Structure 1
C-alpha cells in the first residue's frame, strides 16, 4: 500500500503546475523536471551534465545542489542548502561525474573554499581554500585546473556584495536595477586578478591582472589550457570577447568592433571546443546574428535571425544541427525557439578571409507569454539533443523544465 501523504504535502501537490503537457500553440511536449518551487537550472553556458549525459545538476530553493536523472526524471538532493554562505553550484566535470562547488565560511566572511562531490557515491572532499573574495567559475577539460577571479580590496561588486561575500553561479533573478549597478561597477575600475587553481595541489597561479571588469571565465571543453573570458559592461562600451592560455600567453581579442553601437555577448563554447558562439548586433535592435569564431583557423560564420526571434541566450546542440533561443521582451519574442541553421550558398565570391553568412529558420517550442523575463530562461540542449532545458516562472515560482525537440505525436 502506498504511504499516505500529509495534508500539507497534498495541498502543495494540488497547487503545483502540471508535470507534463503539450503546448497547444506549438505541439511540443513540456515536462516539469523539479518539484520544488524556487528551483532553477544553471546558467546556459555552464556544463550541468555528467559525462555520460544521463544526469543534470540544478540549484535547489535553499541554494543547495540537486541532481536529475534524465532517463527517469527522478530528482535527489546532492548537497544540502547553505551553511555559512555556501554552497553554490559550479559545474560538472567533463571527464568524471564530479560536481564542483564552493562554500563560504561561517566564521570568516572573506573566506571560501572549493569542494567536489562524486555524483555516484555522494562522497564530498575539500579541494582548497581560495584567496579572499574569490570564486572558481570553470574547470578545465581534464579536471586539473579551476579558474577564478577576485577583486583586490573592499570595493563593491556588481550585485552589491561587499568584501568577503561569495558569488553564486546558480543564476537566480538579477536585481531590478541591473543596468545601473552594472554601470557603477564598470566605472569603478576595481583591481582584479584572474587566477588558476591546481585541483591536485591547491596551488594558485595568477594568469593576469586588470582594472577592467573581467567576467564569464570559461575553459574550452576540449583544450585544458585554453580559456575564454569577457569584459563586462554595456556591450557597446567594452571590447568584449577574448581568449588566453593559462600561462598568460596568446591573449587574443576575437571580435574587434567594426560599427558604431555594435554589441556582442552571451558567449559559449561549442561542444567540440573549436568554435566560440555569441550574440552579435549591428547595432542593437536593427540587425542581429548568432556569430561563430573558430579558434583553430580564425574562420567566422554569422547566422541572421529576425527581430521577433530575439533571445536573451542561444545554444547549439552537440551535433551542430540545431540552435535554441529563450526569447526576450522584444515585440513578439515571448517564445522558446528551435532554429535550423542554413548557410547562404557561395557562388565563388571574390575575396579572402570572408565571413560565411547564414540564417536561422525558427520554430516555436514553448509559449512564454506568462513568463516574467526578469528571470532569464537560460536554454540549453541536453547532450543527446532530445530536450531543451530551461527555467521559468510562468506558474509563479521558478521551476526547471524540459521541452521535447520533436513534436508530440498525439495531442492531449
Structure 2
C-alpha cells in the first residue's frame, strides 16, 4: 500500500496563508542538468541527475507527470512546481507557491493539477484544487473540497476523482504514515506483544490492519473541471484508495479496497455514475494476494502483482476487461519490484526492484505457451538491468516512469544519502 506524501509538511506550516494566493512567475528560473550525465558502472547506461533539491517530490508510479506532447515532466520542490525538459533535462520553476500536493499532468492540456491547504489544516482536511498552465504559469481555481484528496483525472480531462473520510479515523491511526519532508520516507511505529519496538514493515502491517478494522466511512466523488461541481460516486466503510481512470474510457474508474492484501478483495472498477461496481480479481487460494494495480496502455487491461500464496510464487498478471484474456508472467525473486509499469508501446515493463534485487530494470515478457481461448496464458520475464540501486533504502519508493517516447526511465532514489530524481537512458530496441 502506498500513502501519497503530503508535500513538505513542515515547510508548509511555516508558509503564510497568503502563499495560497498563487501567481505565475514573471521570469521562470532555470537550472541546467548535468552536461551529458554519467555512465552507471554496473549497467553501462547513461544517467542524469535531474534534481537533488532537498525535499523534491516526483509523482507516484501511476500518476502521469508528462505533458501530452511528452516534452515536459512535472515535479515538486519546496519552492513550488517545476518542469524538466525531457530532451535536455534542464529544469525551470513554473509556479512559486506553497503547494500541498502535486497531483498529475493533464492528458489533453499542458497543465499540472495541484492542491493547496491552509497551514492550520491537518492533512485530509479541506483543500482547494487548482490547475496551472505549464507554459504561461497562469493558474485557475477549480474547486474547494471538503477533505481527502484528488487521485485521478479522466482521459478527456473533464473530470477529477477523489476520496475522503466522512468521519475521522481514530487519532492513533491518523497519526501514522506521515512522511519526513526531507527524506520523503513514511514513518510507522508500534510495539509488539512483548513491548519491544516493531520493525518498519511490522509496524506498517499492524497499522494497516487497524485502519481496515476501524471501518471508517468514506466517499468517492467526482469533480467537473469546467464548473467545480462535485458528485458522489460511491460510499462505503471499505478503505477506498488508488483511484485511477482508464486512459481510454473517460467514465471508467479503477480503485482498490486497501488493507492487508490477504484480507481484502482489492481491485475493483466502477462507472462515474456509480453503476457497474465490479471486482477484477477473485481469490482462488488461501493467503493469495493481489495489488499495486495499474492500467495497461490500451485502457482495457488491468495489470497487478499476484502472489499464490503471499510469499510464494509471484506473477505480473494482466486481465483484459473487454475480451476476458488473462496473462501471468512469473516474476523471479531478483525481479520482484515495489512497482511495475508498462512501456508506452505496450511491449515491455519496468520494475523498480526491492531488497532481493536492487535495480531499475526493463522486463521483457516471454510466453511459455500458445494462447488458448478461455485459459490464462503463462509466461516469464527477461531482465535488462539499467540502473544499480545497491545503496538504495526502499522505505523511499523509486516510482519509475517511462518517458512518453520510451527512451528514458525517471525514478527517485536515495543512493547518495538523500532523495534525488534521476533519469536513465534505455537501450535501443
1:102 paired with 2:115, answer yes
Q: CA deviation at 1:167?
A: 10
Provide the C-alpha distance between the structure 1 equivalents of 2:35 and 2:420, rounded to a whole number of angstroms: 11
SS in 2 for 1:113: strand
Q: CA deviation at 1:25?
A: 1.4
CA contact (8 A) 2:67 2:106 kept: yes
CA contact (8 A) 1:64 1:87 kept: no
1:148 paired with 2:174, answer no
Residue 394 of structure 2: aligned partner: 373
Residue 321 of structure 1: aligned partner: 347
Provide the C-alpha distance between the structure 2 equivalents of 1:159 and 1:386, rounded to a whole number of angstroms: 42
Residue 369 of structure 2: aligned partner: 345
Provide the C-alpha distance between the structure 2 equivalents of 1:288 and 1:63, rounded to a whole number of angstroms: 41
SS in 2 for 1:32: strand
Q: List alignment gaps of at least 5 residues for structure 1.
A: 1-15, 408-412
Provide the C-alpha distance between the structure 2 equivalents of 1:112 and 1:40, rounded to a whole number of angstroms: 19
**389-398 vs 107-116, which deviates more?**
107-116
1:77 paired with 2:93, answer yes
Q: CA deviation at 1:272?
A: 2.4
Q: 1:197 to 1:27 in 2, by over 3 A?
A: same
1:22 paired with 2:39, answer yes
Which among 25, 37, 41 is matched to residue 54 of structure 2? 37
Q: 1:391 to 1:18 in 2, by over 3 A?
A: farther
SS in 2 for 1:185: helix
Which among 231, 256, 265 is matched to residue 291 of structure 2? 265
CA contact (8 A) 2:179 2:185 kept: no
CA contact (8 A) 2:369 2:377 kept: no
SS in 2 for 1:319: coil
SS in 1 for 2:174: coil
1:135 paired with 2:168, answer no
SS in 1 for 2:315: strand
Total equivalences in the alignment: 379
Provide the C-alpha distance between the structure 1 equivalents of 2:68 and 2:362, rounded to a whole number of angstroms: 24
CA contact (8 A) 1:99 1:117 kept: yes
Residue 382 of structure 2: aligned partner: 361
Q: CA deviation at 1:157?
A: 7.8
Q: CA deviation at 1:20?
A: 2.3
Which among 309, 312, 328 is matched to residue 283 of structure 1? 309
Q: 1:378 to 1:340 in 2, by over 3 A?
A: same
Provide the C-alpha distance between the structure 1 equivalents of 2:133 and 2:84, rounded to a whole number of angstroms: 14
Show CA shifts across 1:318-358 (max 9, x none).
1012111011013xx111211111112328x6xx5111111
CA contact (8 A) 1:38 1:397 kept: no
Q: CA deviation at 1:87?
A: 2.7
1:192 paired with 2:218, answer yes
Provide the C-alpha distance between the structure 2 equivalents of 1:81 and 1:252, rounded to a whole number of angstroms: 40
Residue 334 of structure 1: aligned partner: 358
Q: CA deviation at 1:161?
A: 5.2
Q: 1:174 to 1:167 in 2, by over 3 A?
A: closer
SS in 2 for 1:96: coil
Q: CA deviation at 1:35?
A: 3.8
CA contact (8 A) 1:157 1:185 kept: no
Provide the C-alpha distance between the structure 2 equivalents of 1:284 and 1:390, rounded to a whole number of angstroms: 27
Q: 1:67 to 1:17 in 2, by over 3 A?
A: closer
Provide the C-alpha distance between the structure 2 equivalents of 1:212 and 1:52, rounded to a whole number of angstroms: 38
1:87 paired with 2:100, answer yes
